Structure 1
Amino acid sequence: MPDTERLIYLLSQARQRLATQEEYTELLEMIQADDTGMVNAQIEAFHGPTVPDSNDPAEWQQLVTDILAADKAQHTAPVRRLPWRWVAAASLLLLAGGTWWRLQPATKTPAPVHTQATPDVAPGGNKAVLTLSDGSQITLDSATNGILAQQGSSKVTKLANGQLVYDASGTSQGKILYNTMSTPLGGQYSLILPDGSKVWLNAGSSITYPTAFTGQERKVNVTGEAFFEVAKNATMPFRVMANNTTVEVLGTHFNINAYTDEATINTTLVEGAVRVSAHNRQLVLKPGQQARVGHTDVQVADQVDLSAITAWKEGYFSFTNADLPTVMRELARWYNLEVSYEGKIPDRVFNGEIGRSLTLSQVLKGLSKTRIKYRIEDGHRIVIQP
């Protein structure tokens, strides 16, 4: 039987983000070896009720191993404090007992579990196309490292880590040149703009920008989703245009989600300050606030979960009280899927995290365990059944 005091200590360390790798590994071993239900009871006290355990513990153990391996890839010290996103993700896997989802059904009516052999589709990765000012295109994921193009007086370089960089010394002589970076469904990419600002693009997104910033402003156009770390320059405001929304900053970190299949354009401030303009209104956001621009109005949400908003940039999905269509839209972008529904959409609420490094078959296997029924057509088409 596990040592109750030791278990409570380890859970407390994990919750406070103070656990070392050794302590976290010990916690996983205690959970795996629990045959009395005591560990699960203590976890419920920390996290709330869970779904039934899986009959195949090896299944979730491999996923936990993958999470720890992903964490190791980002650090070199043998003993360290684990980032909370990995603690939360691993806790979720254990709580869900192998499904790597924690499901809170909105209805208590049980539905049969769907099981179907599924083709294995790799997760998305660093993929993008760069369209130069003359219309020529460069496939960035297959391009060799080094200087890719000369745009005016700016050199476009692909670094060894895959990031695209525009040198900050470039100046425009005469005509302003524009480039566009586009990510396909199943792709993501990052670049450093001529002013030193950093941009991360999510799947199915694009950014159009000048190869050198001149004049009185720095302006870019975005579709889809992007995260910005804007270089400070008080004399030249930075503006992001997304459909009917303008976001103005001097130097800040923020996320903008402007997918056309979402109900609103959401701008979430992580650090600094931004001014959001839409529908003849201007709102100044504070860190932790999110502006939601709809078809006719603008609303502001306070104290949003910043880690959930930026989860895609850190390599995982994060859902809080998300309905099934919300979950499937994110999965569709990352795995390049078509999603449709037959009859009434299942009434489910999802909470938890999923690593974006999982294959499609792993994710769908987890989905089936949440009592969601589906049918696969042509490998990339998922039909959700009532």
Structure 2
Amino acid sequence: MDHNKSNIRALLQRYKDGKCSREELGHLYDELSNNNDDVDKALWESLLQEVETAKLNDQKFEDLYHKISSKTIAISKKRTVRRLIPFWAAAAVLIVCLFGLYLYNGTFQTTPETQRYTTLVDVAPGSNKAMLKTADGSVIVLNEAQEGIIMGDEITYTNGSEVAESINNDDSEVRYELSTPNGGSYRVTLDDGSIVWLNAASKLVYPAKFSQHERKVVIEGEAYFEIQKDAKRPFRVTSGDQTVEVLGTTFNISAYPNERSVRTTLVEGKVRVDLKDKLSSSVYLRPGQQSILKNGGKISVREGNLMAEVGWKEGLFYFDETALTDAMLQISRWYDIEIRYGGNVSQTYFYGQIPRSKSLKNVLNILEEGNVRFRLTKEKTKNVLTVLSAQ
């Protein structure tokens, strides 16, 4: 126990001095999360006394100690965000967050406020919104009262009503493009009975009818797939430089152009993930695993957090050590709002789940428990969310 105490004290001291590496931070996290019996109240009191408090005023320090003592982290009074990790691990992350793990050599990139704006009270959550582009280039704005469309001899909504008249569905070369805007989601039942759910700001390109030999689609953005089994016709999904091949399975692909990687997460079945034109780089995923393809890199595999990846399909923001910047990307897409950073904003990590049906203001009220503030404004026709330091 004494050795553990000394080790943790040393790591915290290195962090205070700005010398703690990412690996050491991870080790500190592990120490605190794996030693519930060893890390007692007396140790925490000594740790808190040793950590430099110059960046926190007395009230902030009291708030920090109170949160640690009461075993809470980023939890609203209504407990909409639930604690998902051991208390000691949460407390460790809270300390890291409150003392500022700065990005880009100490700060987020900020946007000078040169434009006039008006205060915006709230923003409604996203809903069923999508457009269907047909082979002749015409665009159909789909009914927001419906959840999706079904491909067949005719294209219908899920309630059986027609999407449009006289659309030719007989040729496997006829391509459709289903796209969702920021603030929109939709689903499509394909010709073979497979179902694809599109998250916000996403696009699926697919044929009116699949060929007799294979089933191929292209995805940009994020989609959840439930693929019907067909041993004679493999199902292939292309996203950027990768292709996922399946026979029948359930998986999620996140392939947004403005994100650093393409993530493929397997829920059920088995899939093969290939680099384009490089079959030798193929990897196979088991349920619960996730492949990651970074720009210009190789495909790596790790154990994934299923709910963190597919929670959106269940109507949830699901955060599990989700960085502030990544959380803001999700917020930006679902509420169709531009994100900016004002001043020196320290990195914060969020844990828990929030219904995506909540208005933006309600979501922000919960996130502000994580030592960050927000300003919601409108500039002409554009909604803007500015992230501010809580100090």
TM-score using structure 2 length: 0.66
Tell me the residue number matched to 2:375: 375
User: Residue 106 in 1 paired to residue 96 in 2?
Assistant: yes
- Shift, 1:295, TM fit: 1.2
- Alpha carbons of structure 1 residues 107 and 269: separation in structure 2 relative to 1, 3 Å: closer
Segment drifting more, 344-353 vs 354-363: 344-353
* Counterpart among 234, 250, 265 of residue 253 in structure 1: 250
Tell me the residue number matched to 1:269: 266
Tell me the residue number matched to 1:297: 297
Whole-angstrom distance in 2 between the partners of 1:147 and 1:287:
28
Whole-angstrom distance in 1 between the partners of 2:73 and 2:209:
54
Whole-angstrom distance in 1 between the partners of 2:201 and 2:169:
30
Q: Which segments of structure 1 move beyond 4 Å, counting only runs of 4 or more?
A: 89-93, 142-148, 161-165
Give the letter aligned to residue 139 of structure 2. Answer: Q
CA contact (8 A) 2:128 2:144 kept: no
CA contact (8 A) 2:75 2:81 kept: no
How big is each residue's C-alpha offset from its partner over 1:16-48, in whole Å with a ceiling of 9 and x where there is no partner?
xxxxxxxxxxxxxxxxxxxxxxxxxxxx99xx9
Tell me the residue number matched to 1:136: 138
* Counterpart among 177, 180, 185 of residue 177 in structure 2: 180
How big is each residue's C-alpha offset from its partner over 1:170-229, in whole Å with a ceiling of 9 and x where there is no partner?
9745x7211111011001011100011010000000101000011421100101000001
Whole-angstrom distance in 2 between the partners of 1:366 and 1:282:
41
Summarize the alignment of residues 225-236 of structure 1 with structure 2, pairs less than 5 Å apart: 225-236=222-233
Tell me the residue number matched to 2:357: 357
Secondary structure of residue in 1 paired with 2:258: coil
CA contact (8 A) 1:106 1:349 kept: no
Taking only the aligned residue pairs, the percentage that are identical comes to 37
User: Residue 50 in 1 paired to residue 81 in 2?
Assistant: no
User: Residue 160 in 1 paired to residue 188 in 2?
Assistant: no
Tell me the residue number matched to 2:33: none
CA contact (8 A) 1:104 1:350 kept: no
- Shift, 1:122, TM fit: 0.9
In structure 1, stretches of 5+ residues that fail to align are 1-43, 65-88, 96-102, 111-115
- Shift, 1:367, TM fit: 2.8
- Alpha carbons of structure 1 residues 145 and 227: separation in structure 2 relative to 1, 3 Å: closer
Secondary structure of residue in 2 paired with 1:104: helix
CA contact (8 A) 1:145 1:160 kept: no
Whole-angstrom distance in 2 between the partners of 1:176 and 1:195:
15
Whole-angstrom distance in 1 between the partners of 2:74 and 2:202:
38
User: Residue 213 in 1 paired to residue 215 in 2?
Assistant: no
CA contact (8 A) 2:74 2:350 kept: no
How big is each residue's C-alpha offset from its partner over 1:319-347, in whole Å with a ceiling of 9 and x where there is no partner?
11111101100011100010022344422
- Shift, 1:278, TM fit: 1.3
- Alpha carbons of structure 1 residues 346 and 118: separation in structure 2 relative to 1, 3 Å: farther
Tell me the residue number matched to 1:324: 324
CA contact (8 A) 1:289 1:300 kept: no
- Alpha carbons of structure 1 residues 144 and 184: separation in structure 2 relative to 1, 3 Å: closer
- Shift, 1:258, TM fit: 0.1
Give the letter aligned to residue 106 of structure 1. Answer: V
- Shift, 1:123, TM fit: 0.5
- Shift, 1:261, TM fit: 1.5
- Alpha carbons of structure 1 residues 365 and 176: separation in structure 2 relative to 1, 3 Å: same
Give the letter aligned to residue 257 of structure 1. Answer: S
- Shift, 1:162, TM fit: 9.4
* Counterpart among 116, 124, 128 of residue 122 in structure 1: 124
- Shift, 1:53, TM fit: 7.6
Whole-angstrom distance in 2 between the partners of 1:303 and 1:374:
33
CA RMSD of aligned residues (A): 3.5
Give the letter aligned to residue 134 of structure 2. Answer: L
Whole-angstrom distance in 2 between the partners of 1:164 and 1:256:
27
Give the letter aligned to residue 205 of structure 2. Answer: T
- Alpha carbons of structure 1 residues 296 and 208: separation in structure 2 relative to 1, 3 Å: same
Whole-angstrom distance in 1 between the partners of 2:365 and 2:182:
21
CA contact (8 A) 2:323 2:350 kept: yes
- Shift, 1:117, TM fit: 7.0
- Alpha carbons of structure 1 residues 195 and 53: separation in structure 2 relative to 1, 3 Å: closer
Give the letter aligned to residue 236 of structure 2. Answer: R
In structure 2, stretches of 5+ residues that fail to align are 1-67, 87-92, 101-117
- Shift, 1:292, TM fit: 0.3
Secondary structure of residue in 1 paired with 2:367: helix
User: Residue 384 in 1 paired to residue 372 in 2?
Assistant: no
- Alpha carbons of structure 1 residues 51 and 267: separation in structure 2 relative to 1, 3 Å: closer
CA contact (8 A) 1:92 1:353 kept: no
Matched residue pairs, number? 291
Of structures 1 and 2, the larger Rg is shown by 2
Secondary structure of residue in 2 paired with 1:246: strand
Secondary structure of residue in 1 paired with 2:94: strand
Whole-angstrom distance in 2 between the partners of 1:187 and 1:119:
21
Whole-angstrom distance in 2 between the partners of 1:332 and 1:382:
8
- Shift, 1:286, TM fit: 1.1
